[in-house]
Chain A
Amino acid sequence: MTAELGHFALILALFMAIAQATIPLIGAERGNAAWIAVARPTAILQFLLVVLAFACLTHVYLTSDFTVLNVIKNSHTDKPLLYKISGVWGNHEGSLLLWVLILSLFGAAVAVFGGNLPPALKARVLSVQAMIAVGFYLFMLLTSNPFERVFPPPMNGQGLNPLLQDPGLAFHPPMLYLGYVGFSMAFSFAIAALIEGRVDAAWARWVRPWTLAAWCFLTAGIGLGSWWAYYELGWGGWWYWDPVENASFMPWLAGTALLHSATVVEKRDTLKGWTVLLAIITFSLSLLGTFLVRSGVLTSVHAFATDPARGVFILALLIVVIGGSLALFAWRGPKLTSTGLFQPVSREGALLFNNLVMTTAAAAVLLGTLYPLLLDALGGGKVSVGPPFFNAVFIPIMIPMIAAMAVGPFLNWKRSDVLPALLRLRLAFGAALIAGGLAYTAYMDGPVLGIIALALAVWLGLGALTELATRVRLFQEPLADSLSRLFRLPRASWGMTLGHFGLAVAIAGMAGAGAWTVESIQVMKPGDKVAVGGYEFVFDGAEKGKGPNYSLVSGRFSVSRGGDTVVVLEAEKRVYNVSQQPTTEAGIHTTWRGDLYAVIGDPEGNAGAYVTRLYFNPLVVWMWVGILVMVFGGALSLTDRRHRVGAPHRRRAAAAAAEA
């Protein structure tokens, strides 16, 4: 029954979405208030129906109802509770249901909290949201029904891929989707603005927090995915420029650009057309990302669907959404006129420079990701484009932007001078030179890009701190005054400082782990020693054991440095009972200097020897910390009063009070 109820709720949600997509839109066109008012109840009802459908799917997972095909394929009675729940979205159909759940949640949020939006704008935004939803409902109901039944039911399920049975990965898809779908808000607002032919500061005040929230989730989602790959796949790496990683990274690049250009629209009433275009591009890349990953075009762990009917539907949906919105932009975009003028050297100019670099980088990643597909479709043979390509293209493109990023916040709006900004940054510049020089002398033969990246990390990190110090007039006023200024800083400016500073920390981590990782692969007998990155790894032998739903081999490594014991690492190789699939659990010891990382492979011979892989990954933890700081900065900025509902009034009142 539960499955049918969920299926039925999904069908009702489709009809609700169709009503929401059409009636308010026509109402807004004709100025009919009653038709406009339809938007709110339909959005809320649609959300409740999807919640019901999602609850039904979760219920059949929790009760291990093996009459439902989806449960058979992705669950098993032995599975721990957390993974029964995460199994709901750990598959193609369930992940789509999660997608529409989040989409309708955001729609309902606009319906409920959008009281201060002009009614016509709100109606149009909700209509566009519902149009996207209609596409997804149709896709699910026609090609990917999560509630499909099987008769006769099997005794037990096939289990969830053991690699996915991991807390990091249980929350990776929801985070990523909150990011992808969050950008749908910016998209809906952009399309609504194009229909109205008007973009103003109030529009930007709505778009920016949504974009910021989406950006935070996407950043966290990408970080989680990368972290999972690092500790679970046992390759010692954290980013492979795999197409599925690129699929989430492209919207991140475009979304970061959107975040910055929306600020310009809000504060300076310019770059409107560009911002609308960016919103369209960002969401298009999110859609492309969702489908690239799910469609089975790409060889990957994420590719669930290999049904040609799905592929065709996906392609059609992409063409309608992306092609339609770009055509609308070409037609209506020129109507969006900007009033704020600015010189190339100004805050606006710096933000625009950021935008240009980010979009160029996103385009380069897109090209590298799609090139194998295009070449194959044109009969040019099968190729793969791997990390060497992306590193050679992406890193050089980003260097000028990171360099400019420290300077940008010092520039004034409208027109500014570079020289005073550079003078303020002389300390950061000196420190960056010293850091680069030290890295160069320490690693004469190391990659040049690594040294440049380390110097840039110092430059950007200190640049962000210098900007903060300038803002609170550190050393120019008594310390107490500076401190009280520090606490009164708007949270949005804290957000920027933390965002930039976090990126600097993350870049240091990426540079260290990317350029100076030491890897050593060998066969080790118990008692064998191997020196890796200044540490000595001694293999103490391996033991067999059992876990809740797997059997394991656990290898012990005693690691010492200069004779002092540092840590004993335990590296496991597990074989899961249901699927007989092995997984690698690397032994990792994290320090600020870097991670010690050990992996045990297959036994070799009968003397207790194993193939082992040992790494020293310098500074890797800085990357995770940096990403956390960025997400925290974004979240902090979201709590700024001016983003709160109705905040414009209150802020004006506060400003008036401050002047008096």
Chain B
Amino acid sequence: MKRKHKRLTFVMIALLLLGTAAALILTAFEDNIVFFYSPTELAEKNPGPAQRLRIGGLVEDGSVEKPGGGVVAFTITDTAKTIDVRFKGILPDLFREGQGVVAEGHLRGGVFQADEVLAKHDENYMPPEVAEAIKKSGQWKKMGDAQENPK
């Protein structure tokens, strides 16, 4: 095999690999990208029950209830709009009323059925998505203090 052909072989392999990777990435993107909405955006866009999504905001004070069977119900607010969330399982250690939280799941009949709830690992930390959701709703007041003092 000539030097030129040899090099061509590797270029072909590289292209094949990149092509496969690109195809994999495109199909995976289509199926697996999850959009993030604030409660306000959720109300505006009203996505169907089939669409998997993430929502974020603050857990409303006094909204956490345990109807039994390991189910937790609470309300997420961006201080403009709210959304009721139901989740079965163990809440993350940092889940608390008044704290920022992100939930992943589906919107069914006006209630968000979460199969995953993420509260980040730091008591002072607010997920950027949540901070922005609250900013967007025009209610960004003393939240800024919490943000200034991250660990």
Given A344-B10, A357-B17, A360-B17, CB of A383 within 8 Å of CB of B93? no
* Chain A positions within 8 Å of B13 at CB level: 353, 356
Query: Nearest residue in B to A603 (C-beta to C-beta)?
Result: B66
* Chain B positions within 8 Å of A40 at CB level: none
Q: Check if A437 is an interface residue, CB within 8 A of chain B.
A: no
* Binary interface encoding of chain A residues 342-356 relative to chain B, with 1 for a CB under 8 A from any of its CBs, else 0: 111000010011001
* Chain B positions within 8 Å of A601 at CB level: 89-91
Residue with the highest number of chain B CB atoms closer than 10 Å, among A305, A382, A386: A382
Among candidates A363, A385, A392, A602, residue contacting B90 with C-beta atoms closer than 8 Å: A602
Q: Which of B24-32, B78-86, B106-114 contacts A (4 or more CB under 8 A)?
A: B24-32
| Min CB–CB distance A18 → chain B (angstroms) | 32
Given A364-B24, A599-B90, A605-B68, CB of A386 within 8 Å of CB of B32? yes
Q: Check if B142 is an interface residue, CB within 8 A of chain A.
A: no
Among candidates A161, A297, A344, residue contacting B121 with C-beta atoms closer than 8 Å: A161
Q: Which of A483-491, A493-501, A575-583 contacts B (4 or more CB under 8 A)?
A: A575-583
* Binary interface encoding of chain B residues 114-151 relative to chain A, with 1 for a CB under 8 A from any of its CBs, else 0: 00000011110101110010000000000000010111
Check A604 against B33 for contact (C-beta < 8 Å): no
Q: Check if B48 is an interface residue, CB within 8 A of chain A.
A: no
| Min CB–CB distance B84 → chain A (angstroms) | 19
Check B24 against A584 for contact (C-beta < 8 Å): no
Check B29 against A74 for contact (C-beta < 8 Å): no
Q: Tally of A-B residue pairs with Cβ under 8 A?
A: 140
Among candidates A301, A341, A343, A353, residue contacting B122 with C-beta atoms closer than 8 Å: A301
Q: Please, how many angstroms separate the alpha-carbon atoms of A356 and B1 in the complex? A: 21
Check B70 against A299 for contact (C-beta < 8 Å): no
Check B68 against A604 for contact (C-beta < 8 Å): yes
Q: Check if A168 is an interface residue, CB within 8 A of chain B.
A: no
Check B54 against A582 for contact (C-beta < 8 Å): no
Query: Nearest residue in B to A306 (C-beta to C-beta)?
Result: B150
Among candidates A73, A342, A357, A383, residue contacting B33 with C-beta atoms closer than 8 Å: A383
Q: Check if A393 is an interface residue, CB within 8 A of chain B.
A: yes
Given A299-B129, A306-B150, CB of A383 within 8 Å of CB of B25? no
Check A523 against B6 for contact (C-beta < 8 Å): no
Check A521 against B89 for contact (C-beta < 8 Å): yes
* Binary interface encoding of chain A residues 225-267 relative to chain B, with 1 for a CB under 8 A from any of its CBs, else 0: 0000000001000000000000000000000000000000000
Q: Please, how many angstroms separate the alpha-carbon atoms of A579 and B37 in the complex? A: 30
Q: Please, how many angstroms separate the alpha-carbon atoms of A361 and B21 in the complex? A: 8
Given A344-B6, A384-B54, CB of A91 within 8 Å of CB of B151? yes
Query: Nearest residue in A to B93 (C-beta to C-beta)?
Result: A582
Query: Nearest residue in B to A524 (C-beta to C-beta)?
Result: B70
Check A296 against B150 for contact (C-beta < 8 Å): yes
Given A382-B129, A604-B68, A613-B89, CB of A299 within 8 Å of CB of B35? no
Chain A interface, number of residues (Cβ within 8 angstroms): 62
Check B10 against A352 for contact (C-beta < 8 Å): yes
Check B24 against A393 for contact (C-beta < 8 Å): yes
A residues 601-627 near B (Cβ < 8 Å) are: 601-602, 604-605, 611-613
Q: Check if A163 is an interface residue, CB within 8 A of chain B.
A: yes
Among candidates B20, B31, B150, residue contacting A304 with C-beta atoms closer than 8 Å: B150
* Chain A positions within 8 Å of B122 at CB level: 161, 301
Query: Nearest residue in B to A401 (C-beta to C-beta)?
Result: B17
Q: Please, how many angstroms separate the alpha-carbon atoms of A385 and B104 in the complex? A: 12
Query: Nearest residue in A to B25 (C-beta to C-beta)?
Result: A393
* Chain A positions within 8 Å of B125 at CB level: 303
Among candidates B25, B29, B31, B128, residue contacting A299 with C-beta atoms closer than 8 Å: B128
Q: Check if A368 is an interface residue, CB within 8 A of chain B.
A: yes
Check A341 against B3 for contact (C-beta < 8 Å): yes
Q: Please, how many angstroms separate the alpha-carbon atoms of A458 and B125 in the complex? A: 44
Q: Please, how many angstroms separate the alpha-carbon atoms of A583 and B121 in the complex? A: 9
Check A389 against B90 for contact (C-beta < 8 Å): no
Check A388 against B17 for contact (C-beta < 8 Å): no
Q: Please, how many angstroms separate the alpha-carbon atoms of A296 and B124 in the complex? A: 13
Check B70 against A304 for contact (C-beta < 8 Å): no
* Chain B positions within 8 Å of A361 at CB level: 21
Q: Check if B43 is an interface residue, CB within 8 A of chain A.
A: no
* Binary interface encoding of chain B residues 10-53 relative to chain A, with 1 for a CB under 8 A from any of its CBs, else 0: 10011001101100110111011111110000000000000000
Q: Check if B62 is an interface residue, CB within 8 A of chain A.
A: no
Q: Check if B63 is an interface residue, CB within 8 A of chain A.
A: no
Check A388 against B70 for contact (C-beta < 8 Å): no
Check B14 against A356 for contact (C-beta < 8 Å): yes
Check B31 against A73 for contact (C-beta < 8 Å): no
Given A299-B127, A522-B70, CB of A392 within 8 Å of CB of B24? yes
Check B123 against A579 for contact (C-beta < 8 Å): yes
A residues 353-399 near B (Cβ < 8 Å) are: 353, 356-357, 360-361, 363-364, 367-368, 371, 381-386, 388-389, 392-393, 396-397
Given A303-B125, A343-B6, A605-B68, CB of A363 within 8 Å of CB of B21? yes
Check B69 against A523 for contact (C-beta < 8 Å): yes
Check B70 against A397 for contact (C-beta < 8 Å): no
Q: Check if A470 is an interface residue, CB within 8 A of chain B.
A: no
Q: Check if A639 is an interface residue, CB within 8 A of chain B.
A: no
Q: Check if A590 is an interface residue, CB within 8 A of chain B.
A: no
Check B3 against A523 for contact (C-beta < 8 Å): no
* Chain B positions within 8 Å of A385 at CB level: 29, 32-34
Check B28 against A389 for contact (C-beta < 8 Å): yes
Q: Please, how many angstroms separate the alpha-carbon atoms of A397 and B1 in the complex? A: 28
Q: Check if A32 is an interface residue, CB within 8 A of chain B.
A: no
Query: Nearest residue in B to A601 (C-beta to C-beta)?
Result: B90
Among candidates B17, B27, B123, residue contacting A392 with C-beta atoms closer than 8 Å: B27
| Min CB–CB distance A506 → chain B (angstroms) | 23
A-B contact pairs, 15 of them (CB 8 A): A74-B151, A91-B151, A297-B128, A300-B120, A305-B150, A344-B6, A356-B14, A360-B18, A364-B24, A371-B29, A382-B129, A382-B132, A397-B21, A604-B66, A611-B90
Q: Which residues of A contact B (CB under 8 A)?
A: 73-74, 91, 158, 161, 163, 234, 296-297, 299-301, 303-306, 341-344, 349, 352-353, 356-357, 360-361, 363-364, 367-368, 371, 381-386, 388-389, 392-393, 396-397, 521-523, 573, 579-584, 599, 601-602, 604-605, 611-613
Return the 9 tightest CB-CB contacts between A and B, nearest first. Answer: A601-B90, A382-B36, A301-B121, A389-B32, A392-B28, A388-B32, A582-B93, A344-B9, A523-B70
Q: Which residues of B contact A (CB under 8 A)?
A: 1, 3, 6, 9-10, 13-14, 17-18, 20-21, 24-25, 27-29, 31-37, 54, 66, 68-70, 88-91, 93-94, 102, 104, 120-123, 125, 127-129, 132, 147, 149-151
